[in-house]
């Protein structure tokens, strides 16, 4: 029994090493692209926050939707939303074919390494932004509950990976899906509670917004930041179900197509 336990730990250690070895390879591939694309990847969420903040300033509507800082309100919506976008986009572009990864690594390992790298990069950026706001004097930028903030972020990662795996398969048969998906995800910003408080929207609009699982993650995250954020529309189980079902479907569909391509 001791030998079996030791073998299991060795196998887990080897798997972690494979994932860790894949991450620099994936980062190198990503860095080979346009320097502008790399800049946009890191700073697009912050650019969006600044743009919406500037527009409200030009319209002389500086009163925050909630809390004491309009900038923080937008940051607490855009940054978690873009975490989902980054996960779904990076996973969608993952090359999961057996010949594209390290020896002994599988397509699933490539997906996991891609998701782990993207999540680490984006969450590190979020921490720096919130820390910078706190240093600037926005006291509410220090979350009331880091645990409550972490839960929706984890679910956004899972949901993004699942949808990214499904999109990866769709993109093989419909190359234009990449552009269409980018347009749709950016359009959904206005139906995800990013720039609005869901509980304060008209009933007809609220029914549409709450059908979007991303709105529940944004509300959940803001509740962790502010502590007293209105969450009457929040349904944690709805987001959890979406995340788990999507990940399961993404895994099944991806494995089926990979095996089909291997037979060819």
Render pLDDT for 45-55 as a digit per residue (tens, 0 to 9): 899 999 999 99
The encoded tokens of residue 82 equal: 């873009």
Confidence (pTM): 0.85
The structural domains of the chain, with segments of one domain joined by +, span 2-263
Average pLDDT over residues 147-161: 95
- Whole-number Å distance between alpha carbons of 235 and 33: 39
Across 86-125, the runs of DSSP E, i.e. the strands, are none
252, 260 Cβ separation under 8 angstroms: no
Cα dist. 223→146, 236, 256 in Å?
A: 10, 12, 39
Band (262; pLDDT cuts 50, 70, 90): very low
Band (106; pLDDT cuts 50, 70, 90): low
Query: Higher confidence at residue 262 or residue 42?
Result: 42
The encoded tokens of residue 202 equal: 């008209």
Render pLDDT for 170-201 as a digit per residue (tens, 0 to 9): 887 887 877 888 888 888 999 999 999 999 99
DSSP assignment string, 97-127: SGGGS-TT--HHHHHHHHHHHHHHHHHHHHH
The pLDDT mean for the chain works out to 82
Please list, in sequence order, all residues whose beta carbon lies within 8 angstroms of the beta carbon of residue 68, skipping any fewer than 6 positions away: 138, 139, 140
Query: Higher confidence at residue 5 or residue 206?
Result: 206
């Amino acid at each position: 029994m001791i030998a079996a336990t030791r073998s299991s730990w060795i196998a887990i250690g080897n798997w972690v090493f494979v994932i860790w070895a894949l991450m620099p390879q994936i980062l190198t591939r990503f860095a080979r692209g346009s320097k502008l694309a790399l800049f946009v990847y890191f700073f697009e969420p912050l650019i969006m926050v600044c743009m919406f903040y500037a527009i409200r300033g030009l319209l002389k509507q500086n009163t925050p939707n909630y809390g004491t800082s309009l900038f923080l309100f937008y940051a607490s919506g855009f940054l978690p939303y873009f975490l989902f976008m980054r996960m779904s986009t990076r996973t969608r572009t993952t090359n999961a074919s057996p010949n594209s990864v390290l020896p002994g690594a599988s397509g699933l390992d490539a997906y996991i390494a891609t998701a782990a790298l993207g999540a680490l990069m984006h969450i590190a950026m979020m921490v720096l932004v919130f820390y910078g706001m706190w240093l600037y004097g926005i006291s509410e930028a220090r979350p009331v509950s880091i645990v409550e903030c972490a839960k929706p972020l984890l679910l956004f990662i899972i949901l993004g990976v699942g949808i990214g795996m499904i999109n990866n398969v769709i993109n093989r048969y419909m190359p234009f899906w990449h552009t269409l998906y980018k347009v749709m995800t950016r359009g959904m910003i206005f139906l995800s509670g990013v720039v609005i408080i869901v509980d304060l929207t008209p009933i007809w609009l609220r029914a549409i917004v709450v059908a979007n699982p991303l709105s529940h993650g944004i509300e959940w995250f803001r509740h962790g930041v502010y502590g007293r954020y209105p969450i009457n529309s929040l349904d944690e189980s709805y987001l959890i179900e979406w995340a788990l079902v999507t990940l399961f479907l993404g895994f099944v569909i991806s494995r089926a197509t990979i095996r089909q391509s291997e037979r060819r």
